[in-house]
Structure 1
């Protein structure tokens, strides 16, 4: 992971959802639609990060869906206050060890099990993930997993590979900031050339001047970042409405 995956701001506000257990995972749930579900795959800060819970509430209210934000890190969460700290203070987090505990091979089985649980219960299912969650939504939306999810959305994905991009088989939305050492210019260009060639609906939105993590940890006191994170949220909501109704 890169330093940019930890930068950002914690938003003000109180989540209004509830905590439940689904498919064996502790889960934040918002909304009550019995036909439509949205799976939110969290970033490094985990399922308790308030910003993601506030986004889940917005998705639930604005799309009339039941939104699930599960714990995919086995109960481990990063301390929220580090988003405001100098990067020099992040060393004790030992990110290499964290990455080994939560790599794709370790976490993919439970992510797939959760999505299968949603598909068994709901008529329509979408998956959305930023940063760490980005690679996972592409895996869920792969052609080989036909029917598992109806569409995917990702903002500034991490650990995403060209093979995963090329293997996708459902409508794709990518929200891409200009400044992103993880979702690089090369991956941006590859996505824009490859996904349309697959014959898939594709929504690529570019956010000039904004950085990796803007959509989930942007500074609401900064006008440009506030406009960007609102635009990202609205774009995702519009995407879900197109493919989940």
Structure 2
């Protein structure tokens, strides 16, 4: 389900310290930990619709600061939803997103996983997904693909996606989220129980869809929730990767 909240939010201040490099033909932002240049564990960052947007790069840097090589591939071939859409408050997401369905996104992620494992020698891969990216954490949390998953305020996913996971999954959910309302979250819980995998859902009160990556950091509730959701992800990877 497309919703205006998928293209709304706030731009975060800061200068990313990683770099964009080619990874098997995919423009990819690399955030490399300072003390671990050749890590055996890495994080595949599956972004929201804004792609190589400053907020996403800064989050990738935060994971690198925790010791994880983090790669943020361009899923949209240089055509993400423009950051200006946040300011305008209007964007035809429905017309845009039809061009970025699994037949387009799946091969990119497959290539990235192969690159991490075969070119960089990564032995275990965690994946983070925000909004749009959450669906693909579900789809790729399979043996031989992604080992551990985490996502925040998911969108465009199905219960079938959740039911098919084959690894540990942690979810950061927003109390106010028309894209992932309580009834869908409860269905996800029921599906996760049936998978037999380790799972976690943390519900953050008083915040809305996008809080984990595009929240208003001048609002102390949103700032706290964003930081706690990130800490949730790091703790999950520290334990399961």
TM norm structure 1: 0.91
- Per the alignment, do residues 33 and 237 of structure 1 end up closer, same or farther by CA in structure 2, a change over 3 Å counting? farther
Distance 1:33 1:236 in 2: 21
**Would you say how many aligned residue pairs link Structure 1 and Structure 2?**
234
Q: Deviations over 1:199-218 (max 9, x none)?
A: 21111100111100000001
Checking the alignment, whether the CA contact within 8 Å between 1:33 and 1:65 is kept in structure 2 is: no
Match of 1:196 in 2: 193
The gaps in structure 1 that reach 5 residues or longer are none
Instruction: Give yes or no for the alignment of 1:125 onto 2:125.
Output: yes
Match of 1:103 in 2: 101
SS at match of 2:153: strand
Match of 1:134 in 2: 134
* 1:192 to partner: Cα distance: 1.4
* 1:134 to partner: Cα distance: 0.6
Instruction: Give yes or no for the alignment of 1:43 onto 2:48.
Output: yes
1:146 to 135, 143, 147: 143
2:72 to 58, 69, 73: 69
Match of 2:166 in 1: 169
SS at match of 1:21: strand
* 1:53 to partner: Cα distance: 0.5
* 1:100 to partner: Cα distance: 1.3
SS at match of 2:234: helix
Match of 2:92 in 1: 94
Structure 1 runs of 4+ with >4 Å offset: none
TM norm structure 2: 0.93
Q: Deviations over 1:3-48 (max 9, x none)?
A: 01011100000001111111321000011343111000111111x2
Distance 2:192 2:162 in 1: 7
Distance 1:218 1:94 in 2: 21
